Each structure stands twice: as structure tokens, then as C-alpha cells.
Structure 1
């Protein structure tokens, strides 16, 4: 696992540019394939309540290298990504849907002795270096799988216009995990609950538990 903080945002920008062509609409996440051997998407252990409120996470993505598992939103596509854990892409909604909302998850084990505060600060510095107009609109504390973390909402101008990013940072066993949920400004409020649900679904397999 080699994912330094300097790699995070070029990958996020790449998703903004290329997500529109990543998958065909109308199907759920395919079996994971590519350069992360053993990564996979499977049915979750229990069936969700179809009548329940909130976003439905209908599949579970498991990363064999980190042991991280995440729920995949209904109808989304999950792909292993070089130098990251997984990319999730929303389905297209017509020919005019040129900005595919997406979720990129990274794991950085190269940052020296990371703490939550030091990593969040370094990440914010890197984001602003690459997108100088970035502005943090909201932030707060979060607990996921018993790990204290930080969430932030940033705005920035990317290749496809003004966007918002919902980001969650977790530091576990010397590895900094970051979830970046990106959407254009005009759909962000609708997709934020999806990003939040995926973040709260994070867990680690028993083999990698502290």
C-alpha cells in the first residue's frame, strides 16, 4: 500500500473528468476487477429494509489489502482504483448528466505518525494548493466503527464547474483513510445523505481489527 497524501487529489480530479464514461447506466455494481487482486462486491450479510428511510446500500465492497468494507449505494458502480481503495460512480440519468457524482476512498500509510489533526491539516493544505479557491463550508466530529474522525464539506471549482465535496477522515493503526464524495453544487444536497451513509457503513474485517 503506497498512497501518500500528494496522490489523493489528482485522483479525485481524474474522476471528475472521466466519470461520465466509466459505466453504463441501469445496472448495479459489477464484480470488482482490475489491479487489486481479491477485491470484490457482494451481497451484504443481511437484507436491508426496502421500506426504510435513507439511502439504500445494497452491496458490500471489501478491499483485501486494508480489510475495509463499505456499503455500495443502490445502482452505483464500484471499481478498484490504482493507488486508492475504491471508486464508486453514480448511474447516469440521461444524456445531459455530464457530471457523474462519485465517491473515492483512499488509504495512506506513508504519512509519518499520522494523527487525526495532523492529517486533516495536511490534507487541507494539499487541497488548497491544487484548488486555490477551495473553501471549507462546514466541519465536525464523527465516529465510525468506534474510530473518532472528522467530516468536512468543501466547495471548489473543478474542470466541470463548481462542486462540493463531503469528506470523512479516519486514522486507524497508522493508516489515514479518506472518503471523498463529490457532486456538482446543484445536486450536492441530494447526494450528501448517500455519501454520509457510505461513510457510516465503514468497517474492517475481523482479521484486521486492532
Structure 2
């Protein structure tokens, strides 16, 4: 039985009799379905566009964090020179010009300078106790780092290291570890390090660490 026959049958059974234009009813039904599909498609498209816009708005692009725009700081200059105010710094810098860059290695400011003696360098340091320079010969083939001195009053060991070194840690008698500060590639293929420790701490050794965390050398401070 086709649709027209169904409508004719229903129309005859209804009381009171009702005149029904089957063809018109079928056409109206098809038009209504087309309008419904168009409305659903329009709503879906609107929701999709809104979702895309919302996703784009919250995407963490450079300069955004958690959907909120933030200022992106400029990368620090690798050759930035600190401006310390330690006593004697300006005079020492003038007398022993830096060979490379000046390094901030808390609690000190340090640099390398040419020494009068051939194949030697000066390590110059400036800190709360004042400023000074001392000469040292090149590191031996099996040396990765060397202590250049110990400052009392601020309790710090400091020295030089080859660029293979990525860290220097002080180890105390009771096994405590005090990581130091290191600035690599200061000049002449060397970096500079400093390890500050609490007053009265019994530092028994300095452990020199490589790029993968391996131990390159152990130094017994004198």
C-alpha cells in the first residue's frame, strides 16, 4: 500500500468525514523535513565554528600561559657583564683586563686575565671580602678542575674548570652535599666555579661532575 492509499483509508475512517489533500500533505511533510535538516545543519555549523574559535583563543601560543597573554622575556645575553660594587673591582679590572667575559659566580664575581709568566693565567675574584688575582699554570691532561683558593669570612672554595665540567659539589664529613655555582666557557677554554658552605662545615672533598652526571674528578681541598 502506498502513502496515498494510507491517507485515503485514514480519511474514510475519521468521523466526521474530513477532506484531505494527500498530495499537498506529502509535499508539506517533505518541506518541513528539509527545513528541519537545514536548521540542524546551521546549528551544527555554528557550534563547530564557535568550538574552533574557542580552541584557537585558548591555545598556548608563545606569549600565552593557560590562555592568558604574558610577556615573553628576551633571552639573556651570553656575554652580559655583571656590574658589581665590590671594593677594588674597578681598579683590578683595569690592571688585569678580562680575557673573555666576566662571570657572576655567587657569591663572587670572577674573570681570567693574562699573566706576566708565559703559559699562565690570572684568576681574578671580587667579593664581599675585597678583590685579588692569583696566577695558575694550565690544567694537566687528567685534571678537569682545580681549586684556586678559599676565602674565609664568607666560607667559599673557588677555582677553574675545563668546559667538560658541568657541576662542582662539596661533600661534608657527615655526607652532606653542597652544590656550587659554575659558569662555563668564560675564556681560554675554561669555566669558573665557587662553592659556598655554612660556617663551621667540614668540607672533605669537592666532586667534579660531567654532562651526564658522571664523576670526573674528586678534589681533596687543602
Higher relative contact order (CA 8 A, sep 6+): 1
TM-score range for the pair, normalised by the shorter chain length: under 0.3
TM-score by length of 1: 0.27
- From the CA coordinates, give the structure whose radius of gyration is larger: 2
TM-score by length of 2: 0.26
